Amino acid sequence: MNAFDSRQREELCAAVRALADDREVRAVVLYGGERLFAAGADIKALAAMSPGQVRGWNRALQRTFDEVARLPVPVVAAITGHALGGGLELALAADYRVAADDARLGQPEVRLGIMPGSGGTQRLTRLIGPARAKNLLMTGRTVGADEALRLGLVDEVVPAGEAHEAALRYARQLAEGPAAALEAIKEAVDHGADAALSTGLALERSLFTGVFGTDDAADGLRAFLERGARRDGPHSDGDDEKGRTT
């Protein structure tokens, strides 16, 4: 069921760090298999821990999900079956979520007398708003893919059996884009959203300036100017400047 015990968390953490250090990686897809995305934490293991042990375990899992969210490349979650508790919290760390039409998503921790501890109260609220987040968190109910789409919990719903390929297709599209610009956009959105507008704009300005020094920017700007020169050349169709689009 892809339940998160200490070994699963350690393996995920190692994989994420390897991806972060590999500059050949241009996008990442999170996928739990055809059966389900992840059922959440290993409750049997948690029930055997002392409060101090739970705190340390939770801190480590939260840190791992943070590392997923901070990957410098686009991260796409392919959600099949169930994404519950910690499983949904992992999906929330992605930049984009594709769900199969038979998927079920939720944060059912309250039904056990506990609460989410690996981003559920924070990322969910930022994604769908306080009132909707409280509804899911306080009732512990699960929602189907269509309702998740209406709530903004997922970004795309596809027929069962197609979520993985749809996520790969979107990831490949992003992987073909300019790496530095995509990384800068992700940083601006993720870090600017929680800051004052003036701080976010300053961050955006700094990142905007920085991408101008990349090879991708040089190539893109040169290609744009060359296309414009061809349109304005002796074989131009005569359209005026206002009629041109790019």
pLDDT digits (tens, 9 = 90+) for 150-173: 999 999 999 999 999 999 999 999
Q: Which of 89, 156, 226, 241 is catalytic?
A: 89
**Beta bridge partners of residue 4, listed in sequence order:** 41
* 109 catalytic per annotation: yes
Residue 241: predicted pLDDT: 40
* 176 catalytic per annotation: no
Instruction: Pull the structure tokens for residue 12.
Output: 């995920």
- Judge whether 91 and 163 are in contact, CB under 8 Å: no
Residue 68, amino acid:
V
Q: Look up the pTM and report it.
A: 0.89
Instruction: Report residue 234's pLDDT band, with 50, 70 and 90 as the boundaries.
Output: low
- Judge whether 84 and 120 are in contact, CB under 8 Å: no
Q: Cα–Cα distance between 17 and 12 in angstroms, integer?
A: 9
Among 86-100, 177-191, 221-235, whose mean pLDDT is lowest? 221-235
Residue 30: predicted pLDDT: 98
| CA-CA-CA-CA torsion sign (192, 193, 194, 200) | positive
| 230, pLDDT greater than 80 | no
Q: What are phi and psi of 37, to 5 degrees?
A: -80, -65
Tokens 């940083």 identify what position?
187
- Judge whether 137 and 108 are in contact, CB under 8 Å: no
Q: Which of 10, 67, 109, 147 is catalytic?
A: 109
What percentage of residues in the chain have a pLDDT greater than 90? 81
- Which whole number is the average pLDDT over 178-198? 95
Mean pLDDT, the chain, as a whole number?
92
| 176, pLDDT greater than 50 | yes
Residue 194: predicted pLDDT: 86
Residue 231: predicted pLDDT: 73
pLDDT per residue as tens digits for the range 23-82: 999 999 999 999 999 999 888 889 999 999 999 999 999 999 999 999 999 999 999 999
Residue 171: predicted pLDDT: 98
Instruction: Pull the structure tokens for residue 48.
Output: 């055997």
